[in-house]
A and B are shown apart, each in its own frame.
Chain A
Amino acid sequence: MRARGIENSPFRWLLPIAVMAAVILAWEAVVRLNDLPAYILPAPSRVIETLIADHAVLLASMLVTLKTTALALLVAIVGGVALALVFASARIVEFSLFPIAVILQVTPIIAIAPLMLIYLSTDTAVLMCAFIVAFFPILSNTTLGLNSVDPNLRDLFALSGASRLQTLLQLRLPTALPYFLGGARIAGGLALIGAVVGEIAAGSAGQGSGLAFRIVESGYRLNIPRMFAALLLISLAGILIYAALSLVSWLLLRRWHESALQSNR
């Protein structure tokens, strides 16, 4: 009962907004009262000013980062799902290839990035960084989903004389969908991290034009307000990606999956 009270009351929205506003106001107050210079800690108002003043550069950079992230995510989805399908149809492939996927996953991407920048063009290297981190959650979640078919439903399909393709399309893929979407949501956030890491590694070499590169560049110039502005946009990009993937997930699952249901208990 109490839980439902919180769920439905306007406080569910008002409280987090109020807390956020309080933090920002406190930050503003600290900067103004102590008369802190912008190169030590810019006030939120100053960050917004910079954002507006430099919007042409920053938004163009945001677009670059978003494009890289989206493309990496797309390739990770296509590749991850395709490999999961291969894994699910031949366990021997799974046994053979899974360790490589795990190694790629557990090795910190920041450590791989410099090598990538040697072998690949800057853009490709950044894309590759984002792809590598986004790939694994899609692969492992989709594989798990494809192998989570209700055994009775599998029997029912066999009994009805379903072909392998029919079983895949009408049973295994729908079963895997919620798992895949969960993986995609994680992968979206990771792809952004991968892109940022790639850009920072490339940016320190004096190349690139994404948001992370703007941060590195502004850091060299001690343009702290712009660093904050770029950081704000990276957070915004992350929220955007998460929201978009959540929306897709909700649209696909709202009619049937537990995760998308409004509880009326």
Chain B
Amino acid sequence: MTAGSPVPPRGLAVTAVVDTPPAPLLRLEAVEKRFANAVTALKGLDMEVRQGEFLSLLGPSGCGKSTALRLIAGLSEPTAGRLVWNEKEREPHSIGFVFQEPTLMPWASVFGNVHLPLKLAGQSRRAAAPAIEEALEMVGLAGFRDAYPRELSGGMKMRVSIARALVTKPRLLLMDEPFAALDEITRFKLNNDLLEVWRRLNCTIVFVTHSVFESVFLSTRILVFRARPGQVSAALDIDPNQPRDEAFRTSPEYAGLCRDTSLALARAMEAGESLSPVPRAG
């Protein structure tokens, strides 16, 4: 399934995908990240992000998936290896980032918070207003532009955070366990809305999660990470044409995919626990 990409992460092909894989947006080649405290978060990480896909990075805590996301965002530099971008896609402000916490500025209104990326790029409130209104409408917060973060629930704060990432119309949306702190009902709702946004914006999403169910529901592709050292242990494809609705959530296919993914995750965790280098699952 990844034939043709130079560094194929070998993995379980869960669903046969007939289409040729879309062009890569970027590739991580033999990436290593060691922190100042000598912790090696990633070692020999090979992966690619493909145009228009919904890619989930799934793995146990401490497997370096968030580190990989920060490398892609350019928030830190790899200590070895490299990131290769498909050059025409790498424009300034073409990356949106959503953190695990809503990370809103408490002193600014919803409007002000969503305005931030455009403001920093030099756009006035007035010039940015249509884009801000559109982003708020996309996350279902059209009537809340003048509210302050403290007045919002956790789910609504996260929606503001997503609107802020969407306001620049990014080509690539990076999300670091954005729904981990939310209750299940809110999370399901945000999952659905996120898929809607993904379709509307036609962007690429890299989504870090430790929920098997969430990753299967959302993604077109899942990379399962192992820890010590952090690297890709398995890759799973999910038919992108599969409608993601409540029927899918309760279907046998969904259950089957979740089982396969859980299995791959269990293997990845075993590999992370043994101290000797383990061949990657495949």
Interface residue ranges, A against B (CB under 8 Å): 150, 152-153, 155-162, 166, 170-171, 174, 177, 255-258, 261
Contact = CB atoms under 8 A, between A and B. Distances in A.
Contacts of A166: 120
Interface string B105-139: 11110000000110111000000000000000000
Contacts of A162: 120
A152 B119 CA distance: 18
A126 to B, nearest CB: 37
Contact of B150 (A150, A155, A160, A256): A256
Nearest to B149: A256
B99 A152 contact: yes
Nearest to A158: B75
A158 B117 CA distance: 10
15 contacts: A152-B103, A155-B70, A156-B99, A156-B117, A159-B73, A159-B95, A160-B93, A160-B120, A161-B93, A174-B105, A177-B107, A255-B148, A256-B149, A257-B106, A261-B150
B101 A152 contact: yes
Q: With a 10 A CB-CB cut-off, give which of A150, A159, A255 has the most chain B CB atoms.
A: A159
A161 B92 contact: yes
A261 B106 CA distance: 13
Main secondary structure of the interface of A (DSSP, over half): helix
B168 to A, nearest CB: 8
A153 B105 contact: yes
B175 to A, nearest CB: 13
Provide the main secondary structure of the chain B interface: loop
Given A153-B105, A156-B117, 14 more contacts: A150-B103, A152-B99, A155-B75, A159-B74, A160-B116, A160-B120, A162-B120, A170-B120, A171-B105, A177-B107, A255-B107, A256-B107, A256-B150, A257-B106
Contacts of A174: 105, 107
A166 B117 CA distance: 11
B97 interface: yes
A77 to B, nearest CB: 20
A98 B101 CA distance: 34
B157 to A, nearest CB: 13
Contacts of A170: 116, 119-120
B148 A256 contact: yes
A150 B149 CA distance: 15
Contacts of B149: 256
A156 B95 contact: no
Given A156-B97, A255-B148, A161 B121 contact: yes
Nearest to B97: A159
Nearest to B109: A255
